[in-house]
Structures are given as structure tokens and as C-alpha cells.
Amino acid sequence: MGYLVLLEQIGEAVHGASGPVDQGGIPRALAHFGPTGLQDAWVDALVALRNALAHDYGLVAMNRNAARRHVFRLTGEGPLVRLPDSRWDRDWRAHPERDATYVKVLAVADLVERVIVSVGNAWWSCDLDTDLSGGRDELAARFTFAMLG
């Protein structure tokens, strides 16, 4: 969950110099700093997983939006996200296991670490901006930390 929350914070706090996109959070972070070619359905699944973990403390996203409705299974194999052939319809008597969305945990970590490197590169090349109402002062106050000792 920590990696997904960090990804969301990046998307809420900063964007590339090309300007913000309409979306916030995870979709915005991936649009600006993620690899090209990520499927929109995968991004929706990552948002749904973050919400399931953070709000429901579990692996089920009961969202009204079908694109973000999932029964998740975390795995160590396969692609970043493997979507089911049919979407779970929120019926517990049905086959939530057959309709599960699989997310490769280490691939999520790798993705977020790539985003962090991309944000750092944008910072050093002066291609990083924020649209927080308090501007760079708010960004520094809310999201900068130092390791002491």
C-alpha cells in the first residue's frame, strides 16, 4: 500500500513541465512520470487496489464504476496486472476467484521506483512543476524531508 500511496502523492503534488493532466493522483503520476504503454485498465486497477487497501483494508474494490471494481489477488508472477476475462459483478455467490484481478507485487514496486527516478530527473533538469495552491513553498513544506544523523 505504501508504494501506491506514494504514487498517488506524486500525482497530487507535482507534474512535468508539459503541464498537468485532468486526472489526479495515480493516473497523473503515471501519465507524467511512468513508462509509456501502460494500459488504462491497468491504471484503473492500481487505483482500485490502492482504494481497497486504504479504505476497506482488504483486497476487494466494490466501486460502482465497473472499471474499478475488482477482487484482487497479489502474486509474484506474471505481468504487472492480469485482468479477468469477465468483470466481477459484486455477487459473492458467483465466482470471485475466477473473476479475480492479479497484481504482481514486485512489479508495482519496480514501477513506483521508476517513477521516483523520473521525478528526480525532472527535478534536476528543472522540468518539474506543481499546481498546489501554495506553489513551491507548499510543496517544500508538505513533501520535503531530510535524514539527520
Q: pTM value?
A: 0.88
- pLDDT tens digits, one per residue of 44-100: 999 999 999 999 899 999 888 888 889 999 999 999 999 998 888 888 877 767 789
Q: What is the DSSP string of the chain?
A: -HHHHHHHHHHHH-EETT---S--HHHHHHHHHSPTT--HHHHHHHHHHHHHHHHSSSSEEE-SSGGGEEEEEEESSSSSEE--SS---S-TTS-TTTTPEEEEHHHHHHHHHHHHHHHHHHHHTT-EE---TTHHHHHHHHH------
- pLDDT tens digits, one per residue of 108-134: 999 999 999 999 999 889 888 888 899
